[in-house]
Amino acid sequence: MQTARRSVIPYPIARQPWGMLIPLFLLVLFGAAVLYSAAGGSMSPYASSHLIRFSVFLVMASIIASLPRELVRFLTYPAYIVVLLLLLAVEIIGRVDGGSQRWLDLGFMVLQPSELMKPVIVVTLAHYLSSLPVGMISSWRALVVPGAMIGMPVGLVLLQPDLGTSLAIVFGGGVVLLLAGLPLRWFIGAGVAAAAAAPLIFYFGLQDYQQRRILTMFDPEADALGAGYHIAQSKIAIGSGGIFGKGFNNGSQSHLQYLPEPHTDFVFATMAEEWGLVGGLFVLAVFSIILRWGLGVARTSKDRFSSLLAAGMAATIFFYIAVNLLMVMGMAPVVGIPLPFMSHGGSSMLTNMICIGALMMVNQWNRKAPRGGLSGGIS
Amino acid sequence: MKRFFSLNSSAKRRPSRRGPVVNASTLRHAFDRRAFVIGGMQYGVGILLAGRMAYLAIAENEKYRLASESNRVNLTLIPPRRGWIMDRNGAPLASNRADFRVDVIPERLADPEKTIDEIGALLALEPTRIADIKSKLEGARGFAAVEVASGLNYEQFAALSVRLPDMQGVLPQRGFSRYYPTASSVGHLIGYVGPASAEEYELDRNPILITPGHKIGKDGLEKQFEQRLRGTPGARRVEVTAGGRVLRDLESREDIQGDPVKLTIDGPLQDYAARRIGLESGSVVVMDCQTGDLLCMASMPSFDPNSFSDGIGSAEYAMLREDQRVPLRNKVLKGLYPPGSTVKPMHCMAFLKAGISPQETISCAGGRRIGNRFFNCWSNHGTVDMAKAIYQSCDSYFYHYAQQIGFDKVAEMAKDLGMGQEFELPVTSQFYGTVPDPDWKLNKFDREWEPFDTVNASIGQGYYLASPLQLAVMSARLATGKRLNPRLILNSEAPSPPDYNFDADEITYIRKAMSDVVNGPGTAGRGRLPLDDVKMAGKTGTAQVVSLSVSDGRSGPWKYRDHGLFTFFAPTENPRYAGAVVIEHGGGSGAAYPIARDVMTFMFDPQKGMDALTSLERQWGGTAQQRLDQRYAAYAAERGAEVRPPPRRDEDIFDQVEAEARVAAEQTQEIGETFVAPRPTANPSGTPPPDAVTPSTGIQSSNPAAAPTTTPSGPQASGAN
């Protein structure tokens, strides 16, 4: 974080969190290399657009990073309502067109409002909980209002239906609630209730293909040509890579199209086949640097809003990483969640860069008024 | 998650129990604690992921590397070229020709119906063929290829190959297919080939059996010599995409062609005899009198093995099934007929051995009293000695002497000369018929032997049953006095058959009498060879299948007409060839011996024989194969849509045919329950069955004189091997 504080370097550059940004750049470049290979050794269509998007969203992130706290707090609820309306609009347009739909075509870009909801729910909850009087943290108001705030978008996203994104919203919101100091027994109770409801949800709430995906997670080889195909091929790709991989551009699983979605959800398998365990450890190391930095930002924040915001953003990124990697390695069902900064795809890059931007923003706030002793008041 | 809570709960619970002591400081602490735990949990997941990845990449690397290789590399077996089946002069009876073919793998088809329709439209397949393929697909095992079409030309092949990316599971390929130059003439003898059935794959788990385009012998010699003919498959290792597209060849190994099988069959003679049978239903067997080599085993009508090897079509199968001349039955081995008078020379040999002098005579008064009953002869022959009994085929003579020496002795001679015997031949099955004697009758019917049984049997009627092959063997053994065994596979060792203890005089006497049948005052005057230097000897036979009261044997329902038989050898003095002709329901021996005459003529003077056949085929409407093709075209046009499909397994088809052949033979024996009164004609003959009439579709001018040249027309396509 404090890599460069030398006077020769201009302050606007020196103040950036290079300890996080440089590994992130390396990871994005590495991702571009993997996408180059996934396209059969070509910059188009994946690698070049990957880099362009990252550049554009990096600019966006640095704009976010420069936003003042008051403006953010002021915009929080309107932003939440706008995104919620967008979700509703998606649902309505989908119904009218007679088919499920997840995105809005804005003309210049295709927008998935459910993606926007992931960072927005974190800011909203952080804002609500930080403005809640301290004494009410263990009262029902600390649960009911945030519960509704999470429940409405989750319900709309589930209708799309998009289980992966719903879980991401619940996870991000849940982490903010947890860190806000809500009584632990509520979480334990929720966990028990979820465990009890899981079988019911599995049998009555999930679509057929979703049930199959969960079942094949436990025994993917049983149906190697059907539902287990994705997981089986992904494990073959990762396992056959060995320690040093098959070499750049030499992955047969991805090049011969055995690996499904080699440029999006299964980009890690594509990478692991060519770069082996070494490449995998590099990716994991970069992710751990980013997340460690994110949590560090949260812990050095002087006020509740900032720390909850930063921790929630880090948790959202973590959720992407964990679910995607667990899935790719055959330890979670196949849900369409891409790997941050490596998978090709605008929406996930947007979400993750909003999270990064928000973290940099909090980092900026921390620099201006570092946390001081017990003075961490609630503004 | 569990670890997270257990770490935390003890610290957290105390304050909350004590009451709402919540302030900014406790919240900050809770945040720090919980953030720390979340951070730890994230590290935990990170370590779990790293460990899992290391496990996959190191511990299970070998397994997944193999899986990845087997994904990437596809080993394709190249069906080996089948060994040739050759005639005694090395001319192919079954060869291979290069062609383009297309198969489908049922389990890889997304929408079988649609795909087959598309291919059908592309290749312009007949609707019956398309229906056949669909029904075959329904019963097919997923992994085994189903043939859609073969013998495609390059344009069709290319048209299909272009569309491949849209057609999963469709395999067009270049390969070799079996080719039988003389087609239906060798159908029963050679058999045909087809894709291995599920049962055959169960028995022999050789991966080549389920390789698309590979066919195995299904009947006849193709089946008997399967292992020898099969060869060694070639292999091709290719890199393929998940979609099945071949990217590049990695390595390939040529196939090794199967070993050839050389038969004793004389290809041109086989083809000639088959064609000469014409519209009739029958068989011709010719043996070499020095070695026992089978030169010809023609059974007609027959199926076209070329077309069977492409898959037996419903319409084709239905047409063959409905034909009462049973084209699916190999009549040489599985046709059983009362031998009729053709056994008389052999019976005479039994009389000679029993001490009857050839000069002894009896008086035929239009019949003979045996015991207290009078049995008719077919004519009144006056005074009859042995020679006259043979050339005039006097029944009374045989009634008398068979009764005198006892039929046991006659039966013994019959069995010794091959009647009722099976021979060591590489054939899928052969029927051995019946030489009736008292023991046999008691065993089979639980009834005593009656004098009329001797009477019936003495003239080859009643329970007596023989196959054309046995008749030919009998004829050859009698003509040479040697224990000749038929053989079908040519090898270097010349057999030296042992002699029977026949006197030269006895043999000469019988030969002379049999020569007189044809060349003297006998029953087959029109059977004389149109050659100056070669004479044929023989014996006519007319076998009744129903009693005189049901039919006169020449007209009426075809299946009631008499069988026409003729056994022969030539030249008369020093027999070189012997054989038998049996024409089912030919109306009498008059249907049989002209065929023997022409076949022997062809043997000694091919041109003369060919001329005779050419003029006949002009009347019949083409060669046997041309007539079969015309009949099929007419049948498919008329009935194609409503036929029942053939049994799924080829084995079922021939099991059924064999069972029916057994039933047919049993039925023939029913006549033996009473005396079979002989027909009052010397050598009658009827008209061919209505089935045989070829529809005049106007194709018959297509050169019926397509001669079975001395080397059968070789494989026509390029690259045949």
Task: Count Cβ atoms within 10 A of the Cβ of residue B551 and give its class: 0-12 exposed, 13-18 middle, 19 or more buried.
Answer: middle
Query: How many residues are recorded in chain B?
Result: 721
Q: Write the CB contacts of B128 (distance below 8 Å, at least 6 apart in sequence).
A: B313, B314, B315, B636, B640, B641, B643
A264 touches chain B (CB under 8 A): no
Give, in order, the Cα–Cα distances in Å from A60 to each of A24, A349, A363, B346.
16, 11, 16, 112
User: How many angstroms separate the CA atoms of B332 and B294, rounded?
Assistant: 12
Task: Please tell me what DSSP assigns to residue B717.
Answer: S
**What is the C-alpha to C-alpha distance for residues B344 and B346, in angstroms, rounded to an integer?**
5
Q: What is the pLDDT of residue A109?
A: 62
Give the mutation candidate from A184, A217, A270 for the B interface (greatest B CB count, under 10 A): A184
Q: Are B692 and B323 in contact (CB under 8 A)?
A: no
* Partner-chain contact A325 B5, CB within 8 Å: no
Provide the pLDDT for residue B79: 85
Considering only alpha carbons, which residue of chain A is nearest residue B19? A138
Between the alpha carbon of residue B95 and those of residues A148, B180, B287, B629, B714, the distances in Å are: 82, 6, 25, 21, 8
CA distances from B51 to A228, A233, B6, B59, B342 (A): 22, 19, 24, 11, 91
CB of B110 within 8 Å of any CB in chain A? no
Q: What percent of chain B has pLDDT over 90?
A: 20
Select the more confidently predicted residue: A177 or B554: A177
Confidence of residue B685 (pLDDT cuts 50, 70, 90): low
d(CA B339, CA A26): 97
User: Tokens 């090709």 identify what position?
Assistant: A344
Name the residue type at position A25: F
Q: Is the CB of B57 less than 8 angstroms away from the CB of A238? A: yes
Please answer whether residues B563 and B585 qualify as being in contact, where contact means their C-beta atoms are separated by less than 8 angstroms: yes
pLDDT in tens, B267-320: 999 999 999 998 888 999 999 999 889 999 999 889 888 888 887 878 888 888
CA distance A242 to chain B (A): 4
Which residue, among B89, B85, B425, B426, has the nearest Cα to B268 in the 3D structure?
Answer: B89
What does A272-315 look like in DSSP terms, one character per residue?
Answer: HHHHHHHHHHHHHHHHHHHHHHHHHHHHH-SSHHHHHHHHHHHH
Nearest chain B residue to A297 by CA: give it. B35
In A, which residues are within 8 Å of B30 by CB distance? 179, 181
* Statement: residue B211 has pLDDT above 90: no
Q: What is the DSSP letter of B641?
A: G
Q: Which tokens sit at B539? A: 């014996």
| CB contact burial B365-394 (16+ within 10 A = b; e otherwise) | eebbebeeeebbbbbebeebbbbbbbbbbb
Distance CA A284, CA B50 (A): 7
- What angle, 0 to 180 degrees and rounded to 10, lies between the N-to-C axes of helices B112-123 and B154-162? 140
Q: B87: which residues sit within 8 A by CB, 6+ positions away? A: B93, B262, B263, B265, B266, B267, B268, B270, B712
pLDDT band at B703 (very low <50, low <70, confident <90, very high): very low
Residues 116-135 of A with CB under 8 A from B: 134-135
Residue range B495-505: mean pLDDT, rounded? 86
CB B599 within 8 A of CB B270: no
Side-by-side strand order, sheet with B246-253 = B73-78, B234-240, B246-253
* Residue contact A239–B60, C-beta within 8 A: yes
Can you tell me whether residue B298 is helix, strand or coil?
strand
CB contact at 8 A, A119 and A354: yes
pLDDT tens digits, B647-677: 767 777 777 888 888 888 777 777 777 777 7
| Min Cα–Cα distance to chain A from B51, Å | 10
Q: Does A183 reach chain B within 8 Å, measured CB to CB? A: yes
Q: CB-based contacts of B418: which residues, under 8 Å, 6+ apart?
A: B470, B473, B474, B477
**Between B410 and A208, residue with greater pLDDT:** B410
Per-residue pLDDT tens for B317-330?
888 888 888 888 88
Cα nearest neighbour of B72 on chain A:
A252
Q: For position B642, what pLDDT does the model report? A: 64
Average pLDDT for chain B: 82
Substitution target in A233, A240, A252 with the highest count of B β-carbons within 10 Å is A240
Helix A141-159 × helix A113-131 angle, to 10°? 180
Closest chain A residue by Cα to residue B1: A191
Nearest Cα residue in chain A from B25: A374
Give the span between the Cα atoms of B560 and B546, in whole angstroms: 6
Residues of B in contact with A188 (CB under 8 A): 5, 9
Cα of B249 to nearest chain A Cα, Å: 15
Contact A181 B31 (CB under 8 A): yes
Tell me whether residues B57 and A295 touch, CB distance under 8 A. no
ipTM for the complex shown: 0.89
DSSP per position, A172-226:
HHHHHHHHTT--HHHHHHHHHHHHHHHHHIIIIIS-HHHHHHHHHHH-GGGGTTT
> Angle at the Cα of B685 (from B679 to B691), degrees rounded to 5?
125
Residue B207's contacts (CB-CB under 8 Å, 6 or more residues apart) are B77
A376 touches chain B (CB under 8 A): yes
From chain A, the residues in CB contact with B67 under 8 A are: 236, 239-240
Q: What is the pLDDT averaged over residues B45-62?
A: 92
A190 is written with which tokens? 């929720």
d(CA B676, CA B548): 8
Test A239 with B63 for CB contact under 8 angstroms. yes
Cα–Cα dist B210/B206, whole Å:
8
Are the beta carbons of A276 and B58 separated by less than 8 Å?
A: no
Q: Give the distance from residue B102's alpha carbon to the nearest chain A alpha carbon, in angstroms.
A: 25
Report CA-CA distances (Å) from B615 to B267, B290, B609, B621, B711. Answer: 21, 33, 10, 10, 22
Identify the closest residue of chain A to B12 by CA–CA distance. A184
Does pLDDT of B466 surpass 60?
yes
Say if B70 is an interface residue toward chain A (CB within 8 Å).
no
pLDDT at B436 over 60: yes
Over the stretch B452-462, which tens digit does the pLDDT of each residue have?
888 889 988 88
- Mutation pick from A122, A130, A176, A179 vs chain B, by most beta carbons of B within 10 Å, is A179
Among A224-233, B289-298, B512-521, B604-613, the range scoring the smallest mean pLDDT is A224-233
- Which pLDDT score, from 0 to 100, does residue A211 have? 74
Distance of CA B672 to the CA centre of its chain: 31
Sign of the CA dihedral running B482, B485, B487, B492: negative
- Using the Cβ of B241 and the Cβ atoms of chain A, whether some distance falls under 8 Å is answered with yes
The span from the first CA to the last CA of chain A, in angstroms, equals 26
Q: What string of pLDDT tens digits covers the 379 residues of chain A?
A: 444 455 566 777 777 888 899 999 999 999 999 999 988 888 888 899 999 999 999 999 999 999 998 899 999 999 999 999 998 888 887 766 655 566 777 665 677 888 889 999 999 999 998 888 887 777 777 888 888 999 999 988 888 777 788 888 999 999 999 988 888 888 888 888 888 888 887 777 777 777 776 766 666 555 555 557 788 888 899 999 999 998 888 888 888 888 888 888 899 999 999 999 999 999 999 999 999 999 999 988 888 899 999 999 999 999 999 999 998 998 887 777 889 999 988 888 989 999 999 999 999 898 886 554 444 444 3
Share of chain B above pLDDT 70, in %: 88
- Comparing A211-215, B262-266, B434-438, the range with the smallest average pLDDT is A211-215
Please tell me the distance from the alpha carbon of residue A184 to that of residue B651, in angstroms, as a whole number: 75
| Secondary structure (3-state) at B15 | helix
Please give the structure tokens belonging to residue B464. 């007596």
Which residue blocks in B592-716 are alpha helix, DSSP H? 593-604, 606-620, 624-639, 650-669
Average pLDDT over all residues of chain A? 84
CA B492 to each of CA A47, B88, B226, B489, B543: distance values in angstroms, whole numbers, following the listed order: 74, 12, 22, 10, 39
pLDDT of A190 reads: 85
- Four-residue CA torsion sign, B223, B227, B232, B237: positive
Cβ(B101)–Cβ(B79) below 8 Å? no
Partner-chain residue, chosen from A178, A304, A322, that has the shortest CB–CB distance to B45: A322
Q: Residues of B with CB below 8 A from A238's CB?
A: 53, 56-57, 64
Query: Strands (DSSP E) along B289-439, which ranges?
Result: 294-300, 362-364, 367-370, 373-376, 382-384
Instruction: State the pairing for strand pair B261-262/B85-86.
Output: parallel
Q: Report whether A333 contacts A211 (CB < 8 A).
A: no
- Asked if B44 is an interface residue toward chain A (Cβ–Cβ < 8 A), one would say no
